[in-house]
């Protein structure tokens, strides 16, 4: 039984805590969050301890591993504290918004021989896993191009945007991680375009809401990513992997496959799944299971701090490219 503390009882902390509580090989010991009754109400629901002091929760003798779901600027502090206490970590993306700080943290994790898994949940989505298996089995031959469309249903609050680190580090980072995973080679060049088409005043932050990226690996493999903070028709998550022997295509998921014919529409289907909590519900569960399983069997984590660093580096290059109008060597 892996005994776990979950830090943060917000959107993602609630998901992780519920998944720990439901996992037969894990025990949710404590949920920690310094603000309001977030921790106590979640702990009451899931039947574990509540704490307001995250560092004390990490130090508990009855805790083996830590899941970090707190705001991004707290990740490194909690990660390094946990590692120093000999505890394994599942850390939400991104490691931090600052590259130099993230590199220093990764070096410290390595120096202390710490175990950290980066929470790139999309890799654990059943379709992503099926893509990876098909690529590994040679079904599409040599991968030539990856195309990813990732559009949120609506703009997040301005306050969130201000502290998010910008669309590339906050949102596109998931797609950059997937791009690396499917291409099977590191991108060496990034070209990005970025605009404020949803909310022009976003340029004051400064940030963007609509972006397109192109990535190229050393052997010439290509990836195109397009992201927007608002799609009026819902959370749009599609992917394509094209290779020398074929193509894999992932369409959006819906609550059911029902199609309707009425006097106002034909072949109408249900709306897309609401947002990431619904669309990636299974992915978050599988991610947590992978973390627990790796700890139980003492095997390597499927994602690492290095994956976090590489995705962040690509996000920084994309921002530089968008600002300069030039392609950027990674
Ligand atoms: N992998 C994903 O799909 C995904 C989705 C959403 C968020 N995230 C990441 O998860 C992290 C949290 O995002 P969220 O959307 O859940 O945010 P949130 O604001 O909903 O929740 C954050 C929680 O942390 C608490 N908190 C604030 N300051 C704290 C501090 N100093 N120490 C400890 N706790 C503190 C808040 O009280 C809040 O309950 C971010 O790093 C974000 O990038 C990942």
Task: Indicate if 183 and 322 belong to the same structural domain.
Answer: yes
pLDDT in tens, 157-175: 988 898 899 999 999 999 9
By CB atoms closer than 10 A (0-12, 13-18, 19+), residue 46 is: middle
The half-sphere exposure of 237 on its side-chain side, counting CA atoms within 13 A, is: 23
Task: Indicate if 283 and 141 belong to the same structural domain.
Answer: yes
Compute the average pLDDT of residues 71-90: 97
User: Alpha carbon of 132 to those of 96, 127, 139, 240, 286: distances in Å?
Assistant: 27, 9, 10, 12, 15
- Residue 87 per-residue DSSP state: -
Please name the residues in contact with 98: beta carbons below 8 A apart, sequence gap of 6 or more. Answer: none
Task: Indicate if 7 and 75 belong to the same structural domain.
Answer: yes
Compute the average pLDDT of residues 310-330: 98
The answer on pLDDT for 28 being more than 90 is yes
pTM: 0.95
Point out which residues pair with 148 in neighbouring strands: 225, 239
Is 34 touching ligand 1 by the criterion CB < 6 Å?
Answer: yes
Task: Indicate if 158 and 90 belong to the same structural domain.
Answer: no
- Structural domain boundaries, residue 84: 2-119
* Inside any domain, residue 135: yes
Q: How confident is the model at residue 36 (pLDDT cuts 50, 70, 90)?
A: confident
What are the structure tokens assigned to 85, written together? 């206490």
By CB atoms closer than 10 A (0-12, 13-18, 19+), residue 34 is: middle
- Which residue owns the Cα nearest ligand 1 atom 43? 93
The answer on pLDDT for 21 being more than 90 is yes
Q: Which residue has the tokens 């039947």?
A: 47
pLDDT attached to residue 178: 98
Closest CA to 322 of 208, 158, 246: 208
Ligand 1 mean position, distance from CA 14 (Å) = 10
Task: Indicate if 265 and 188 belong to the same structural domain.
Answer: yes
Domain boundary among 94, 119, 144: 119
The answer on pLDDT for 256 being more than 90 is yes
- Number of structural domains, the chain? 2
Compute the average pLDDT of residues 291-318: 97
Task: Indicate if 84 and 29 belong to the same structural domain.
Answer: yes
pLDDT in tens, 117-131: 999 999 999 999 999
Is 83 touching ligand 1 by the criterion CB < 6 Å?
Answer: no
Please name the residues in contact with 26: beta carbons below 8 A apart, sequence gap of 6 or more. Answer: 1, 2, 3, 4, 20, 288, 292
* Inside any domain, residue 279: yes
């Amino acid at each position: 039984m892996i005994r776990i503390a979950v830090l943060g009882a917000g959107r993602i902390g609630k998901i992780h805590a519920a998944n720990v509580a439901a996992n037969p090989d894990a025990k949710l010991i404590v949920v920690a969050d310094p603000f309001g009754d977030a921790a106590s109400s979640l702990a009451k629901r899931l039947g574990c301890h509540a704490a307001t002091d995250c560092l004390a929760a990490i130090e508990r003798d009855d805790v083996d591993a830590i899941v970090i779901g707190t705001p991004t600027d707290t990740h490194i502090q909690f990660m390094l504290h946990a590692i120093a206490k000999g505890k394994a970590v599942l850390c939400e993306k991104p490691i931090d918004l600052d590259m130099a700080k993230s590199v220093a943290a990764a070096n410290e994790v390595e120096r202390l021989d710490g175990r950290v898994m980066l929470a790139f949940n999309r890799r654990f989505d059943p379709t992503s896993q099926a893509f990876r298996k098909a690529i590994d089995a040679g079904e599409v031959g040599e991968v030539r191009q990856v195309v990813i469309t990732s559009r949120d249903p609506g703009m997040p609050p301005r306050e969130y945007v201000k502290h998010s680190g910008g669309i590339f580090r906050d949102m596109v980072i998931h797609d950059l991680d997937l791009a690396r995973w499917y291409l099977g080679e590191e991108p060496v060049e990034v070209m990005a375009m970025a605009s404020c088409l949803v909310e022009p005043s976003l340029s004051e932050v400064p940030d963007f809401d609509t972006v397109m990226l192109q990535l190229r690996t050393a052997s010439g493999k290509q990836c195109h990513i397009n992201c927007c903070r608002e799609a009026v028709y819902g959370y749009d998550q599609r992917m394509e992997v094209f290779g020398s022997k074929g193509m894999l295509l992932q369409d959006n998921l819906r609550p059911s496959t029902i199609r309707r014919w009425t006097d106002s529409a034909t072949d109408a289907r249900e709306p897309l799944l609401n947002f990431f909590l619904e669309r990636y519900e299974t992915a978050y569960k599988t991610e947590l299971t992978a973390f627990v399983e790796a700890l139980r069997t003492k095997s390597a984590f499927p994602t690492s701090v290095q994956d976090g660093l590489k995705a962040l580096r690509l996000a920084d290059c994309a921002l530089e490219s968008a600002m300069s109008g030039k392609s950027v060597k990674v």
